[in-house]
Amino acid sequence: MEVSEGREILRTEGLSKRYGRIQAVSDMDLRVYDSEVYSFLGPNGSGKSTTVGMILGLVRPTRGRALVFGSDMATHPWPALRKIGAVIEAPAFYPYLSGYNNLKALAITLGGITNARIDEMLELVGLRDRGHDPYKTYSLGMKQRLGIASTLLRDPELIILDEPTNGLDPAGTREVRDLIPRLARQGRTVFLCSHLLHEVQAVSDRVAIVKRGRMVAQGTVAELLGSGQYLRMRAADNEALTHALAGVPFISAVERVDGFVRATAPVAKAAELNQALATLGIYVSELTPWEMDLESVFMELTGEEAEA
């Protein structure tokens, strides 16, 4: 998905957080632009929620700063918070109130939100029929839906969703997956924390991957996947093949893996490479373009198994 850098909505500069001897987040530099879907990926304990906490002004950075809509979130978060809808970690609501009354309590606090708007949000997330049941009776999926409704209640410009499809059934997951790009098309910016990498790949404009509190990659999905394109080949003499590949300009790395030679190169260059090798008298018996998906990139960068 191509993305053009528009107005900067969120920027972090050297954002760091230390809890005693534990460095939870180190020098996090994020840039999120208007109307894009920005995914923030990382294994459990990688500092995602702490970073989101700092972005929302809930957690004070040890060093660095988070600017949202130009407001420093550690010192003056209120102008920006009016434009943000967020569900951090799991959705959290008052268990004794119904879904409707939870949104009503939020609406009273925020001000300027009508009962019709509450109904509209419940309708949007498919909770209209259960809206007057106590929140404590909701399934995890219903709680997630209410969380999404609460983020949209104030018609925010920036939406922060932490694992929004957690607990949803396949139909619900698809609805959320469809909803996220729709929100971006409406001019909203979506900051999405998720483990579900194939979901992220489908909806994201840009992605950041974090590991142990540090960002290990940031870019468009195409950029990240582009760095994970290989040509896997085999010849009668793999030693000669390896030497020949070292001189090919568009190949950035060559390694021998399980009886194959793996060359890091754009998959579109497969035919050109085959021709070049033939002119050198090397005929490959097998040549396979191999493209990593986001999950493979994530696993390679973080050394973690992602959730399917």
Partner 1 sequence: MSIQRLMAGEFFKLRKRMMTWILAAIIVGLIILLYSILWSISGKAGGYFDRDLGRRVQYEELRRGIFLQAGVPFALQIIAQFGSLLAVIFAAGAAGSEYSWGTVRLMATASSGRLRLITARLIVVCVMVALGTLLAVVVALAYSAVITAYYGGADFSFITSEFLREQFLSWLRTVYVMAPFVALAFAAAVIGRSTLAGVGVGLAVSFLEPLIGSLMRLGGPRWENVPNYLISANRSVVLAQNKLPAGLPEFSFGPSKRDLERQGAFSPEAAAITLALYTVVFLLAAFIVYRRRDITSASMG
Q: Catalog residues that contact partner 1 under the rule CB under 8 A.
A: 24, 44-50, 53, 56-60, 78, 81-82, 84, 86, 88-90, 92-97, 101, 104-106, 108-111, 150
As measured in angstroms, the least distance from the Cβ of 159 to partner 1 is 12
Toward partner 1, which CB reaches closer, 16 or 201? 16
In DSSP notation, 198-256 reads HHHHHH-SEEEEEETTEEEEEEEHHHHHHTTEEEEEEES-HHHHHHHHHT-TT--EEEE
Toward partner 1, which CB reaches closer, 87 or 263? 87
Question: CB atoms < 10 A from the CB of 96, how many?
Answer: 10
Toward partner 1, which CB reaches closer, 77 or 221? 77
Toward partner 1, which CB reaches closer, 58 or 202? 58
CA 91 to chain centre: 18
Phi, then psi, of 175 in degrees rounded to 5: -60, -45
CB 17 within 8 A of CB 50: yes
As measured in angstroms, the least distance from the Cβ of 92 to partner 1 is 3
As measured in angstroms, the least distance from the Cβ of 257 to partner 1 is 34
- Token pair of 101 as six digits: 């009354």
Q: What letter does residue 7 receive in the DSSP assignment?
A: S
As measured in angstroms, the least distance from the Cβ of 88 to partner 1 is 6
As measured in angstroms, the least distance from the Cβ of 60 to partner 1 is 6
Taking the CA atoms of 20, 22, 28 and 34 in sequence, report the sign of the dihedral they define.
Answer: negative
Toward partner 1, which CB reaches closer, 153 or 217? 153
